[in-house]
Structure 1
Amino acid sequence: MTGPGAGPADEPRHDVLVVGGSGVDTVVRVDSLPVPLADSVGVGPIREWPGQTGGNVALGCHALGLNVKFLDFIGDDWTGGQVREHLAKGGVDFEGMHSPSGTRRAVNLVDKTGRRMSFHDARDPEDLRMPREFYLPHLERARHVHLSITNFTRFLFDDIIEQGVPVSTDLHDWDGMDTYHREFAYRADLVFLSAAGARERIGPVMREILREGRAQAVVATAGAGGSYLLTREGSRTPRPVPATVPPAPVVDSNGAGDAYVAGFLYGRLAGRSLDDCAHLGAIAGAYACTVEGSSSLITGEALRSAR
């Protein structure tokens, strides 16, 4: 655990600075979703997977060959130890500040098709803030920032925008109405979300993000249905991006959206078109569905050869 102001001044430039969103998922495999009401249900082995959205994006970007820095609050508990160990094994340069409420947790139910239902325990206190002297030196060296929608990260937007660094975020299953997500939706340059939240309203929600915010592009992922891309240029109708056929049977959709984000950012930082970036994201997301948790991530070489 490091404190404010840590990190040498000559640290290499970060391709991606990820802030917030680490934790541990407890994955429970069930026959189907929703789970039938019963006093007790027999299941297969229950697994613990460190990572969560911020950790998964950081790991995915690093696996693709990008220089990644990851900052977050984390607990001095056994789950925090799991996160630190997992990130270290994945080669991610992580610096954590002490979280008084412990490491974030989630319980994810995953059915036989790989679909999931997540119960997320964010646990961060409302007044939690990351000191500027801790994150600013890293921000000044970043080519791109990815903010998880943990509450404290919203207070980094002013500095990020002042520095002129592009910023992305993932709204997950935002329905377009919950006010918690709006600042993230309207202040990010690149916005990802799942189509599952808004469902048939996903088109209007994507248009609202462009109309009310500063985003240059909005991406809605739809699992096996592919994804949708809406940009400031061209049609007001989101463009469909076909799903990529996974290279092996689907076993777990946990982390697929985060892998999509990593693949998209890889393309963006390489100067690819937004449509091309969405295609790269689809490949990375499909690959992630073929393994449990974030135990295996696509490399840059494999992503390029799969196109």
Structure 2
Amino acid sequence: MPAPTFDIVAIGNAIVDVLAQADEDFLASVGLTKGAMQLLDEEASTHLYARMGPAREISGGSAANTLAGMAALGARCAFIGQIADDQLGEVFAHDIRANGVAFATPMRPGQPSTARCLILVTPDAQRTMNTFLGASQFLPEQALDRETIASAAILYLEGYLWDPDEPRAAMRAAIDIARRAGRKVAFTLSDSFCISRHRADFRRLIDSGQIDILFANEGELLTLVEGEDFDAAVAEIAAHIPTLVVTRGPHGAIAMVDGVRHAVPAEPITRIVDTTGAGDLFAAGFLAGQIQGRSVADCLHMGAIAAAEIISHYGARPEAKLDELIKARLG
């Protein structure tokens, strides 16, 4: 097997996040449940945007956020995701390339427009996400860069993108390409609402050995097994996955690697500002540690450090130098 050209290639939603502060009265006035994630059509997205307060635009998308963090830690990264030929598409393309991530997916002409996520952050740092998936739903299999997928050590897939038919077919094809090339496949479950709709698909991928590294938070894992016992859920899924990583918010995170359990506490943080992207950056730190050949404990610590940095400010892209934070903490 030839040496990889990239450490990781990810397929995910190409989204621009629009963040604004909001209180619970505002959420109630627009019929939103705090902390939830919902999908909007373009008309509803435009209406909600008009009612939001002052906002800032930051390129996002779960897998793209993970790559931004990994690139900051020195990993060689490539991203595959669909944008439209419009202003937000230009913003997304510029931002991800400026982060050192290779991105060559052609823009899609016409409608719908580039995806956006309207994120309302309440004073307790909880984020209520309202997503218009736009052009990202129309990533066709022919847009895959097969050579890049085959030459990357890890293929990383975003569960959020499993809903639409075209990208789901593209991701299945990408798994086949990676498998034939002898590469690892990593998958993030993304959100309980995704799991509820696609549990059977996700379980088939897991149970058939198509996934090497699985990322979930505690709630997602319990949704996946339709149970309430965390330890039992870990044991059930870890039996089919070489590496299972589960984040537990303030209770830290665990990893089951080849049947051995490892755990770390959450990193201390003075003030939580915005939890957007915490899971994405945890995955970034963990995978970067794997690529660097670090111990499982170090990989978990790297994930926790990256997640702590991201929740200390608005937006899901790192602002501090992650490599320096990790060096100071772990050496």
Q: TM-score higher than 0.5 here?
A: yes
Give 2:120's match in structure 1, choosing from 88, 104, 109: 109
Question: Residues of 1 paired with 2:237 and 2:147: CA distance?
Answer: 30
Question: Residues of 2 paired with 1:157 and 1:96: CA distance?
Answer: 18
Give 1:45's match in structure 2, choosing from 54, 62, 67: 54
Shift of 1:38: 6.2
Using a 3 Å threshold, how does the CA distance of structure 1 residues 62 and 207 change in structure 2: closer, same or farther?
same
In structure 2, the residue matched to 1:154 is: 172
Q: Percent identity?
A: 26
CA RMSD of aligned residues (A): 3.0
Which structure 2 segments of 5+ residues have no match? 32-47
Q: How many residues align?
A: 290
Which structure 1 segments of 5+ residues have no match? 1-11
Which residue identity is paired with 2:122?
A: D
Question: Residues of 2 paired with 1:78 and 1:158: CA distance?
Answer: 34
Shift of 1:178: 3.3
Matches within 5 A, 1:1-307: 13-32=5-24, 35-37=27-29, 45-99=54-108, 101-123=112-134, 128-131=139-142, 134-149=144-159, 150-151=161-162, 152=167, 153-174=171-192, 177-179=196-198, 182=202, 185-186=206-207, 187-197=210-220, 198=222, 200-211=228-239, 213=240, 215-234=241-260, 240-246=263-269, 248-293=270-315, 294=317, 296-307=319-330
Write the deviation string for residues 90-116 of structure 1: whole angstroms up to 9, x where unpaired. Answer: 222211233464322212221223221
Shift of 1:174: 3.0
Shift of 1:281: 0.4
Structure (1 or 2) with the greater helix fraction: 2
Question: Residues of 2 paired with 1:21 and 1:174: CA distance?
Answer: 17
**1:288–1:298: 8 Å Cα contact kept in structure 2?**
no
Which residue identity is paired with 1:148?
A: E
Shift of 1:185: 4.6
**1:19–1:54: 8 Å Cα contact kept in structure 2?**
yes
Question: Residues of 2 paired with 1:266 and 1:159: CA distance?
Answer: 22
Name the TM-score, length of structure 1 as normaliser: 0.82
Name the TM-score, length of structure 2 as normaliser: 0.77
Which residue identity is paired with 2:27?
A: V
**2:81–2:136: 8 Å Cα contact kept in structure 1?**
no
